[in-house]
Homo-oligomer: A and B are copies of this chain.
Amino acid sequence: MMFEQGVDGFDRRDWQRSEDGTVRFALVGLGWWTREEAMPAIESSTFCETTVVVSGSHEKADRVAADTDTVTDALTYDEFLDGEARDAYDAVYVVTPNALHLPYVEAAAEYGKAVLCEKPIEASVERAERVVAAAESGDVPLMVAYRMQTDPAVRRARELVRDGEIGDPVQVHGHMSQRLMEVIPDPDQWRLDPDLTGYGATVMDLGIYPLNTARFVLDADPVSVGAQFTAEHEAFADVPDEHASFEATFDDGTEVSCTASQNAQRASSFRVVGTEGEILLEPVFYPDQTRFMTVRSGEQRVEVQVPPVNQMTEEFDYFADCLLSGASPHPDGEHGLADLRAIAAVYEAADTGERVVVGSNRN
C-alpha cells in the first residue's frame, strides 16, 4: 500500500461517516493541556465546539472563557456536578488528574452526556471499573482519549500490519520520555502525587503510549508482564517510577518491550519488527514534532515525512462523528480498563520482581 501511494491519502479520515452537525463540549479541567492543545484543536475541528469550561474557581474558568467566543458558561467543578448549564453541552471532555475522573464521568452519565475521558481512565483498576459502570448505567457513550488511535501515522501502520506488509509481527519496541520537571516546573504537581496519579508517574502517563499503541496496531492484548523501575531524583520520592522498563507478552505471541522516563531527554519512537519487514515511527508520540515513518518490507524501503495533522482535532472529530452518526466510539471503556489492568500488573511486576499475569476479572 505505502509502496505505491507514498503519502497520498496518508491523512485520510477513514472513519468519517457524518457530513455535518456539531457536538457541544464541556471541558472539565483547564490545565495547560486543555488550554494549549484541546481548545485550539476543537476550534479547528469540523464537528466540535467548546461551550462550557469547568475549573476549580470561577476566576480561572472565567479567564479561559473570555478567550473563546463559543463558550457560554464558565463553571466550578461543584456547579458542574450539580448539573448547572447542562443544556449547554452534549458531551464532556474529562481532563482532570487521574484520580478525579470518576466523579465527573458519574455526573456526565447522570445527565445523559457522552464522555471523552483522558487516559488512563482512572487512578486504579477499581476506580476505572466504576467509570465504566457509570457510563453503562447512564447508557452514555464513553471513549478513552488515546489520541494515537486516530493519528494517521498509527492508523497507516496498523493497516500495513493487517495487510501483512511486514509478515507476522514478532516484536515491538516503544519509547517515550520527557523531563517532566521542565515541562511543568512544579514539585507539587499531581503526576508526582500517588493520591492523584494512581500507581505511579511514568507508566501511567508515558508508558501507556507505547503499550496502547501496540495494542491498537497489533490488534492484540497483553497477557503477562515483567517490569523494572528506578527512581532516584527527589521529586520522585513518592512514586516508584522515575524511569520504567517493561515488557509484555501479547495474546498473539508478540513481545512488546517499552521504556519510558519522566526525567530524560524528550524522545519517542515506536517500532514493529515482523518476519518479513519492519515499521518505525520516530518521533511519534509528541504532537508538535515533525514525524517520520519508515517501512521496510523485504528489500523495499520507504521513508515518509508524516503530513502534519492536529492529533487532538482528529480525536475530537472522530468522537463527535460517532455521536452524530450513532456509531459506538472506540477505544471504549473496556479497552481503557484493559490498559489499566496491564499497567497495574506492570507496577506489581516491578515491585515483586516477578512476572505477573494480567488480570481480566473485575477485581
Contacts and interface: CB of A to CB of B under 8 A. Distances in A.
A220 to B, nearest CB: 13
Contacts of A355: 226, 228, 353-354
B249 A228 contact: yes
A179 interface: yes
A8 to B, nearest CB: 25
Contact of A265 (B226, B264, B278): B278
Nearest to A259: B171
Interface size class of A (residues with CB under 8 A): 35 or more
A298 B197 CA distance: 28
Given A226-B355, A264-B275, A355-B354, A232 B247 contact: no
A173 interface: yes
18 contacts: A170-B263, A170-B264, A171-B177, A171-B245, A171-B259, A171-B264, A173-B257, A226-B355, A230-B249, A230-B255, A244-B255, A264-B273, A264-B275, A265-B276, A265-B296, A267-B296, A353-B354, A353-B355
Interface of A: 166-167, 170-171, 173, 175, 177, 179, 224, 226-228, 230, 232, 243-247, 249, 253, 255, 257-259, 261, 263-265, 267, 269, 271, 273-278, 296, 353-355
